[in-house]
Amino acid sequence: MSDEASSDPATFREQLAEARAKNQPPPVPKGWEPYAEESGRVGSAIVRLPRPGATERDLLIGAGFDPDCWRIYGPVNTRRWMRYDQEWLFYYKFDVVQGESPEQVEIHVKDLVRHLRRRKPRTALELGLSGGGDAWLYDASDWQVGKREGEDGSAQTVDRVAESVELAVRRVKDLRRCGALMPQGAFVGLGDLGEGTCGFYPNQPFLIDLNRRDQNRVVRELITYAIDELSPLFEVFEVATVGGNHGENRDDGKKATDDGDNDDVAQFEAVKEAYDRAGRDPHIRWHIPRDELSIALELGGVLNGFTHGHLFRKGSTVQAKAHEWWKGQDFGFQAVRGTQILHSAHFHHLSCVCYGSRTHWQTPPMDPGSKWFRETSGEETPAGALTMRISAEEPLGFSDVQVLGRQHRR
């Protein structure tokens, strides 16, 4: 007699009767011959059991798979077949994949719970918060003092900047209460702190409320105020700047002199001279470029790059343009080569993009907004100052990011 069952009912009854007469097991239904196989992390099986409702563990053991290391994947197809003694046999067809059983998972969960309950909290020093190797940064970008927009033009811009500095003092103290030492602080000008008077857009002379001399004086006062308020909070205080496009000396819409002739750099230079003559605050370190449009500064053991952003060219988005510029500078061994964090301004909105372990921060503005941009796009960027704690102990080199400011109508 053939071991394979016939698909014809009459023939199968003859096969079944023959098996009973010889006291032999019934023929196996075609396509349901019991087997088990595995290849790497997957496998399949057909199991014959004398009872219905077999559990996953029963099926795995019946097929020779360790139930603690394998799981049934997908549906279990079931078929029943009558034995020669008129008892039913149940066939189960299924696929398997390596994986822990629910019982094993439960054991691991209990182990983790016990581990968590035994674990002692790490100290601030162990977490890298109070080891003294961290720093705190305030990015000053796109104040554009002199721009007559919003409800009160430059007066409102001055209030926004001053409020952000007040909030910055509070922020540093709050982080210290949380265990961050931050012996190093930094105040970095990212350009366009003044609006300028002409040469940047056609109706600019009509949209300013301060001439160039007055713009520069107000910017110097705000820089001095920020340094006076923030520098006493740190053992070492870095002050740095780069030039923006609105700081350029322009004629007929084009830059008329060299890159060093820039109001954004000149105002920091004037403030430095005043501090030097006063002979105080020796813990302040100044980083004022001559005509370089990007600089690198180490803060908290992390090398940071700073540029205004008007140098970005190739790319479909602001972030893509910054990425292409950054790669080119790095490849060409320029000032920002090897920097882990790049800070830029110019585009008047906040964004953060990570490229592996490197991060580009696009900083928000402090200016009173743009009626033209608002009415053409429907969008408006909230004003604020980007601040963060920087430390080589952090996975990306920074933490505790906050945009400081209060919401004003613009």
- pLDDT tens per residue across span 147-183: 988 778 889 999 999 999 999 999 999 999 998 999 9
Query: Higher pLDDT residue, 44 or 279?
Result: 44
Position 237 pLDDT exceeds 70: yes
Q: What's the whole-model pTM score?
A: 0.72
Confidence at residue 290, expressed as pLDDT on a 0 to 100 scale: 93
Query: Higher pLDDT residue, 403 or 206?
Result: 403
3-state secondary structure the chain: CCCECCCCHHHHHHHHHHHHHCCCCCCECCCCCCEEEEECCEEEEEEEECCCCCCHHHHHHHCCCCCCCEEEEEEEEEEEEECCCCCEEEEEEEEEEECCCHHHHHHHHHHHHHHHHHCCCCCCCCCCCCCCCCEEEEEECCCCECECCCCCHHHHHHHHHHHHHHHHHHHHHHHHHCCCCCCEEEEEECCCCECCCCCCCCCHHHHECCCHHHHHHHHHHHHHHHHHHHHHHCCEEEEEECCCHHHECEECCEECCCCCCEHHHHHHHHHHHHHHHHCCCCCEEEECCCCCCEEEEEECCEEEEEECCCCCCCCCCHHHHHHHHHHHHHHCCCCCCCCCEEEECCCCCCEEEEECCEEEEECCCCCCCCHHHHHHHCCCCCCCEEEEEECCCCCCCEEEEEEECCCCCC
Most confident among 31-40, 199-208, 336-345 (mean pLDDT): 336-345
Position 31 pLDDT exceeds 90: no
Confidence at residue 81, expressed as pLDDT on a 0 to 100 scale: 75
Q: Please provide the CATH number assigned to the domain covering 135-404.
A: 3.60.21.10
Confidence at residue 205, expressed as pLDDT on a 0 to 100 scale: 76
For the chain, domain boundaries: 31-103, 135-404
pLDDT tens profile 110-153: 877 777 677 676 665 665 565 678 999 999 999 999 998 877 88
Q: How sure is the predictor about 310, in pLDDT bands with cuts at 50, 70 and 90? A: very high
pLDDT tens profile 346-370: 999 999 999 999 999 999 999 888 7
Confidence at residue 1, expressed as pLDDT on a 0 to 100 scale: 46
